[in-house]
Amino acid sequence: MQEPGRQSVVDVALQGGAVAHPATVSRARVLTNLRLTDAAFHHLTRGAAIAVLIILGGTIISLIHGSIPALSTFGLNFLVEERWNPVTERFGALAPIYGTLVTSTIAMLIAVPLGLLIALFLTELCPMWLRRPIGIAIELLAGIPSIIYGIWGLFVLSPFLQRTLQPALIDTFGDIPVLSTLFAGPPYGIGMLTAGLILAIMVLPFVTSVTRDVFEAVPPVLKEAAYGLGCTTWEVVRYVVLPYARVGVIGAVMLGLGRALGETMAVTFVIGNAHRISASVLAPGTTISATIANEFTEAVGDLYTSALIALGLILFVITFIVLAAARYMLARIERRIG
């Protein structure tokens, strides 16, 4: 017989099951909600990645479709012909391509060494009280609109170069065989050299900011060990900092190059917008983006519009080649390191 006040084993088990059942249901509901949230996040991120591919593919298809009339009319001559005459509808992309490559090269030759030196100064030599103001000033340069750079270049930098730098270059290198051609002609003030200088100023904040962050990521123990062995600051930078950060440095250079290739408004103000090829960097020229910005609203014929769209396709291909080359270089460096 069961004693009074005591419960049987069956009653206790049933009560325990009744108490645990709501907790089990609540746990299952929480797990279900987590699974649904994770699945929704997975589909959202995949959809975003697919959207990027769709936008990129749509852009490529639109450029190819719009450039078919010009490419079918002129063929490969469109890439090697200098003439650009909307009246007779004869178009060639060689002059804009040449101007784009020359101005970007000038910009990178100036901005990359200067940006690296500034980044090294900020991370290795600059006093702490001065590091932040210089860093803020460099970041503010990146926030200035390109049209402001263009106006400043047209009304301030171009007259200054016309009075000072360009005559000095012409007089200094006038008797040297190769350099006399490179710096030939009257000092217009505007031209490819001026456009390259403006691009260098615009690219400088990007190169400096990225390389500074990369240099700051170098483990302090590596630099301290080098200093402990008696290395100078230059030796630490050369044998420790730069080898450790070379992948990031290349990325910064390619980021700046991409900005230089596609810049429009600032270059349009100061390059001169002349569809001709000159060996002198002081002569006026044009770029792909400047040509499109100047003439797209005036393109009245289908062939004229198609030629401008074909220029956009060429700029897209050039940018893609630059980025692909950068990825290949980074892959080779990483493979050699690891």
Asked if the model's pLDDT at residue 300 lies above 50, the reply is yes
Cα 138 to Cα 205: distance, rounded to the nearest angstrom? 5
200 closest CA partner among 267, 136, 147, 148: 267
How many CB atoms sit inside 10 A of residue 307's CB? Answer: 28
pLDDT reported for residue 18: 47
Task: Locate the domains of the chain by residue range.
Answer: 1-74, 77-337
Single-letter amino acid, residue 246: R
Asked if the model's pLDDT at residue 101 lies above 90, the reply is yes
Instruction: Yes or no: say if 288 and 312 are a contact pair by the CB < 8 Å rule.
Output: yes
For the residues 188-200, what does the mean pLDDT come to?
93
292 closest CA partner among 307, 271, 270: 307
For the residues 21-40, what does the mean pLDDT come to?
80
Spatial neighbors of 292 by CB under 8 A, at least 6 apart, are: 264, 308, 311, 312
pTM, entire model: 0.84
The tokens describing 207, both together, are 């190169």
Class of 77-337 in CATH = mainly alpha
Cα 211 to Cα 124: distance, rounded to the nearest angstrom? 13
pLDDT, tens digit, 9 for 90 and up, residues 37-91: 888 999 999 999 999 999 999 999 999 999 999 999 998 899 989 889 888 889 9
Long-range contacts of 18-22 (CB under 8 A, 24+ apart): none
pLDDT, tens digit, 9 for 90 and up, residues 104-131: 999 999 999 999 999 999 998 888 888 8
Q: What are the backbone angles phi and psi of residue 62, rounded to the nearest 5°?
A: -65, -40
pLDDT reported for residue 12: 46
How many CB atoms sit inside 10 A of residue 128's CB? Answer: 6
Cα 144 to Cα 166: distance, rounded to the nearest angstrom? 26
Asked if the model's pLDDT at residue 260 lies above 50, the reply is yes
Q: DSSP assignment, residue 237? A: I
The tokens describing 331, both together, are 């892959």
Instruction: Yes or no: say if 103 and 291 are a contact pair by the CB < 8 Å rule.
Output: no
pLDDT, tens digit, 9 for 90 and up, residues 127-185: 888 888 888 888 888 888 999 999 999 999 999 999 999 999 999 988 888 888 899 88
Residue 3 CA: distances (Å) to CA of 6, 7, 8, 10, 93: 6, 9, 10, 15, 104
Residue 108 CA: distances (Å) to CA of 39, 136, 195: 45, 22, 12
